[in-house]
Amino acid sequence: MALTVKSRAYMRSIPITWTIRDWLWSSSLIAISLAWWCDHSAMHKDSLHERFNHEALRWETWHSYNSRLSVLDPTEHDSFTQLASMGSPIVPMVMERWSGKSHPDLPGSGPPWWLLLEKLTGEQMISDEEKLAKLPAALRGSLDPRGVVDADLERRRWLEWWKNKGASTYR
């Protein structure tokens, strides 16, 4: 199919030939652009709870596929950044999700929610000394405490904190 465009500068016809592949490719680009725009413009209109659920699910999904790769930092994922930018109003939602009330198929699993809670609240449930105390003495001086993780203890401490202090502070 040929398309003729008149150039204003020279007032002459310039033949442009489009193949079926060109039409499909350009319409695909337009469709992808519109889908991206609709998705991102809708994100600004959704409630905080809907935005939280969207980003939390993205972070959980990413973590379930990548948690065994030690080179990936879960705090560098886009969803972590989005969640952190929502601020302290999402603390109750994080605690509900992490305690397994809203997702009974994921109790105690998923991404390291304590990293998000530390960023949102400024609290740290396990000190660096406590993390290293569980290791053999020969390893204590050579490891960075940020790399030592006790997910079960983190979860227990955060749930205890929520029960004793956090729920009254952040609800």
For residues 161 and 84, membership in a common domain is answered with yes
* 89 vs 70, more confident: 89
For residues 64 and 102, membership in a common domain is answered with yes
Burial of 132 from C-beta contacts in 10 A (0-12 / 13-18 / 19+): middle
Output the pLDDT for position 104: 45
pTM of structure: 0.67
Output the pLDDT for position 2: 54
User: What crossing angle do the helices spanning 91-98 and 113-121 adopt, rounded to 10°?
Assistant: 160
Number of domains observed in the structure of the chain: 2
Instruction: Provide the terminal-to-terminal Cα distance of the chain, rounded to the nearest Å.
Output: 63
- What is the domain extent for residue 16? 1-45
User: What crossing angle do the helices spanning 78-85 and 48-66 adopt, rounded to 10°?
Assistant: 150
For residues 63 and 22, membership in a common domain is answered with no
For residues 7 and 81, membership in a common domain is answered with no
For residues 24 and 52, membership in a common domain is answered with no
Which of the four pLDDT bands, split at 50, 70 and 90, describes residue 143? confident
Query: DSSP H helical segments within the chain, as ranges?
Result: 20-45, 48-66, 78-85, 91-98, 113-121, 128-133, 137-140, 151-161, 167-170
For residues 50 and 38, membership in a common domain is answered with no
